[in-house]
Chains A and B, each alone.
Chain A
Amino acid sequence: MMELFTAWVGSIPAFAAPFLLATAGLIINERAGVMNLGAEGVMAMAAVTSVLMEMAGHGTALALLSGIGAGLGLAAIFGIMAVFLRVDQVLAGLVAFALGIGVSGFLGDGSENQTVNGISPPPGSDFAFLPKLLAGVLDQDWLTWFAFFAAIAVWFIIERTDLGLRLRAVGEDAPAADAAGVNVALYRFGAVLAGGVLCAIAGAHLSLVGAHIWVDGMVAGRGWIAVAMVTLSRWNALRAIAAALLFGAIQALVPQLLSSGMNVPVYFIQMSPYLATLAYLLIAGLFAKGADAQPADLGRPYLREERR
């Protein structure tokens, strides 16, 4: 039982990292007032591209970079639609989702289920002097470590720098930001690209760290979960760490339970984080807590010449 518990706790960070990266990326988007439903597609593009590059023998670093490039390309298409052409953001996000899933299906066709080296935790424990449970948590590969530092960096930039202040201004009140001399479209597009990079790294994490293969449909709704997790973490990248650990813990629990052969309602357990997010939304609404956290201009395109 203790063995099982240690294994479960040790596997949580790697399960949580893709959620965390994608959520941090979407927080950048939404704080600038852009709702991006295309995260799932961006993750799929990055996942398939990085595996294909690794299979072609280009090395892990280049694989990761090209994964980021592919995700960035899709994020740019979304950004052009949502920011410059002022297409409804929900619609533009859905297009990015479908385009990413569709094209990644084409790219990965015929290369499915082929193992690549990817990124693994260093052999042996660097933290053997610590208690076993703690060492298990800390023994992670570098991309997983990066996810947690990236979330902290995103929090710092958004909440504590001038750049973040302008970004938040664009998301809270675009006309006021415009009047103060902030280029709204530029900031929003920049936020979409920056968020796209993080979502792409999340996708590459899935294929390079998590699965070491590409399978069609392997993102399996994680991009959508990230969209909901932005709400759960109240648009704050530090709280996103807690939210990602919650979802990661539940996801890591399921294979452990299945392999232990215990008779438990697996699907009810998997349902619980969704119900928790829904319950959180409702409770926040009841006490009017979420209302002040959501960027006021979220989802509203801005054009100076247009009446609001």
Chain B
Amino acid sequence: MPRLILSPRLAASRRFTFLVLLGGILAGLVVSGGFLLTQGMGLSDLASQFVGYTFGNPAGLDQTLTRSIPLILVGLSVAVCLKVKFWNIGVEGQLWAGAMAATAVSLYHIGPEAVRLWVMCVAAMLGGGLWCGVCALARVRLRANEVVTTLLMNYVAYMLAQQLLYGAWRNPQDSFPVSKVFAPGETLALLGFGHVHAGIFFSLGAALFCWWLCGFARVGYMAKAVAANPAAARAVGVPAGAVVLLMATLGGALSGLAGFTIVCGEEHRLTQFVGNDFIFPSIVIAYLARSNPLGVVVAAIAIAALYTAGDSLKAFYQLPGATVLTIEAILLLCVCCAEFWLRYQLGWAKSTKVAP
């Protein structure tokens, strides 16, 4: 009797890969659109919200670009870590750590005023890098599962920030749980287009740097070897542990930088809403971009547009705040399931003749 068997696909052509991924994204969009139609939206409403408002309107475009600045950085963070098969579920904690480090530099007046902004930037990267680096060290030296450690470090950073905001850093003037507003020299300049600030250069620069690092530098090449087969990489002399540690610390630093762009570019102080809702978007962005740093920029802008559309859906159609998360989940679900066909193939089992 013929039997269906599942077997690994040894190689998928570029064209097939592209078609499968495109199919996954389109399926995700169709399912999400259908879901929104059941929530009482018309087709023309969908088009006007998602295309017209997010890209065709200066206010929408401004919101999208501003939101994409930290999203690019956290997406890069997950993507860089994935290059060595390190699951970074802790971008929020690293972002909080970066934001707190930058705020500490401002509050305690560390470094000369002329370069204060750069000191804040470096401090944020150190904070984020430390937050992820300890998890990488624990994985490399102690074989601690990084999914659990990076996850736990989110809560540690969040609680620490709350403790500071309700304690030592509370605004002395009105005793709201926010830090003092930064001095003018400690903020990122606006670029003259709505709220878009100079942080966008940090994001794009980071994307270019990661693209170079992963594609052209020796470390990137070693990372590929470690991801493909750690034991073989170690056997040919690649310092596998050091590579994982380096890439994961870099990933953490990128999330810390995202915290820096939020406190210095958008909020101009530490607030309670600095590090909310970044974990899942960062994973979606890195995955849709297939961990390609330049692809992350495109994916992050697309997801930022989704948030812009989500805000207006909330305002004009009274859809709940969960809309964006649901659409992201449906999109990722469809792309994951489509990818199945890149890795496996279904076929009929051949009847094998046994020699007499």
Give me the interface of A with B, judged by CB distance under 8 Å. 35, 37, 77, 81, 85-87, 90-92, 94-95, 97-99, 101-106, 109, 216, 221, 224, 227-228, 231, 265, 267-268, 270-271, 274-275, 277-278, 281-282, 284-286, 290-291, 294, 303, 305-307
Residue B12 is within 8 A (CB to CB) of chain A in the complex = no
Residue B138 is within 8 A (CB to CB) of chain A in the complex = yes
Contact of B160 among A81, A267, A305 (CB under 8 A): A267
A222–B254 Cα gap in the complex (Å)?
28
A231–B149 Cα gap in the complex (Å)?
10
New A-B pairs, 5, CB < 8 Å, besides A271-B155, A281-B145, A305-B5 = A90-B87, A106-B320, A216-B320, A285-B142, A290-B143
What does the 1/0 interface line of B141-155 toward A look like (CB < 8 Å)? Answer: 111110111011101
CB distance from A93 to the nearest CB of B (A): 9
A291–B138 Cα gap in the complex (Å)?
13
CB distance from A131 to the nearest CB of B (A): 35
Q: Is the beta-carbon distance between A227 and B148 smaller than 8 angstroms?
A: yes
The 9 closest A-B pairs by CB, nearest first: A105-B322, A285-B142, A102-B326, A98-B329, A267-B163, A271-B159, A102-B325, A99-B329, A109-B320
Known contacts A98-B332, A99-B330, A265-B167; is A86 also within 8 Å of B343 by CB?
A: yes
CB distance from B272 to the nearest CB of A (A): 12
| Closest residue of A by beta carbon distance from B322 | A105
CB distance from A113 to the nearest CB of B (A): 14
Contact residues in A for B198 (Cβ distance below 8 Å): none
What does the 1/0 interface line of B85-102 toward A look like (CB < 8 Å)? Answer: 001010000000000000
Contact residues in A for B144 (Cβ distance below 8 Å): 281-282, 284-285, 290
Contact of A285 among B141, B287, B332 (CB under 8 A): B141
- Residues 1-26 of B contacting A (Cβ, < 8 Å): 5-8
Contact of B325 among A85, A91, A105 (CB under 8 A): A105
CB distance from A95 to the nearest CB of B (A): 5
Q: Is the beta-carbon distance between B155 and A216 smaller than 8 angstroms?
A: no
| Closest residue of B by beta carbon distance from A93 | B147
Q: Is the beta-carbon distance between B145 and A303 smaller than 8 angstroms?
A: no
A2–B260 Cα gap in the complex (Å)?
47
Q: Is the beta-carbon distance between A81 and B145 smaller than 8 angstroms?
A: no
Q: Is the beta-carbon distance between A92 and B336 smaller than 8 angstroms?
A: yes
Contact residues in B for A86 (Cβ distance below 8 Å): 340, 343-344
A99–B319 Cα gap in the complex (Å)?
16
CB distance from A306 to the nearest CB of B (A): 5
Contact residues in A for B87 (Cβ distance below 8 Å): 90
**Range of interface residues on chain B?**
35 or more
Contact residues in A for B326 (Cβ distance below 8 Å): 98-99, 102-103, 105-106
- Tell me the number of A-to-B contacts counted with CB atoms below 8 Å: 141
- Residue with the highest number of chain B CB atoms closer than 10 Å, among A86, A102, A271, A281: A102
- Residues 26-52 of B contacting A (Cβ, < 8 Å): 39
CB distance from B128 to the nearest CB of A (A): 17
| Closest residue of A by beta carbon distance from B141 | A285
Interface pairs (17), CB distance under 8 Å: A37-B89, A81-B336, A86-B343, A87-B339, A101-B322, A101-B325, A109-B320, A221-B155, A228-B151, A265-B163, A267-B163, A284-B142, A284-B144, A290-B143, A294-B145, A305-B8, A307-B8
Q: Is the beta-carbon distance between B287 and A305 smaller than 8 angstroms?
A: no
Tell me what chain A mostly uses at the interface: helix, strand, loop, or mixed: helix
Q: Is the beta-carbon distance between A85 and B340 smaller than 8 angstroms?
A: yes
A282–B322 Cα gap in the complex (Å)?
36
Contact residues in B for A92 (Cβ distance below 8 Å): 336
- Residue with the highest number of chain B CB atoms closer than 10 Å, among A104, A281, A306: A281
A216–B151 Cα gap in the complex (Å)?
21
What does the 1/0 interface line of B269-291 toward A look like (CB < 8 Å)? Answer: 00000000000100100010000
Q: Is the beta-carbon distance between B166 and A102 smaller than 8 angstroms?
A: no
Q: Is the beta-carbon distance between B325 and A228 smaller than 8 angstroms?
A: no
Residue B171 is within 8 A (CB to CB) of chain A in the complex = no
- Residues 313-329 of B contacting A (Cβ, < 8 Å): 319-323, 325-329
Q: Is the beta-carbon distance between A267 and B336 smaller than 8 angstroms?
A: no
A77–B337 Cα gap in the complex (Å)?
11
| Closest residue of B by beta carbon distance from A103 | B326
Q: Is the beta-carbon distance between A102 and B155 smaller than 8 angstroms?
A: no
Contact residues in A for B166 (Cβ distance below 8 Å): 267
Residue B156 is within 8 A (CB to CB) of chain A in the complex = yes
A216–B144 Cα gap in the complex (Å)?
33
Q: Is the beta-carbon distance between A105 and B339 smaller than 8 angstroms?
A: no
Q: Is the beta-carbon distance between B145 and A282 smaller than 8 angstroms?
A: no
- Residues 155-192 of B contacting A (Cβ, < 8 Å): 155-156, 159-160, 162-163, 166-167
| Closest residue of B by beta carbon distance from A278 | B152
Residue B333 is within 8 A (CB to CB) of chain A in the complex = yes
| Closest residue of A by beta carbon distance from B333 | A95
Contact of A305 among B6, B280, B329 (CB under 8 A): B6
A282–B144 Cα gap in the complex (Å)?
7
Contact of B336 among A95, A106, A221 (CB under 8 A): A95
A77–B162 Cα gap in the complex (Å)?
36
Contact residues in B for A281 (Cβ distance below 8 Å): 138, 142, 144-145, 148-149
A152–B18 Cα gap in the complex (Å)?
50
| Closest residue of A by beta carbon distance from B38 | A106
Contact residues in A for B8 (Cβ distance below 8 Å): 303, 305-307
Contact residues in B for A91 (Cβ distance below 8 Å): 283, 287, 332, 336
A228–B151 Cα gap in the complex (Å)?
8
| Closest residue of B by beta carbon distance from A35 | B147
Q: Is the beta-carbon distance between A216 and B322 smaller than 8 angstroms?
A: yes
Q: Is the beta-carbon distance between A105 and B320 smaller than 8 angstroms?
A: yes
Contact of B142 among A99, A265, A282, A294 (CB under 8 A): A282
Q: Is the beta-carbon distance between B156 and A274 smaller than 8 angstroms?
A: yes
Q: Is the beta-carbon distance between B340 and A87 smaller than 8 angstroms?
A: yes
Known contacts A85-B337, A86-B343, A271-B159; is A285 also within 8 Å of B322 by CB?
A: no
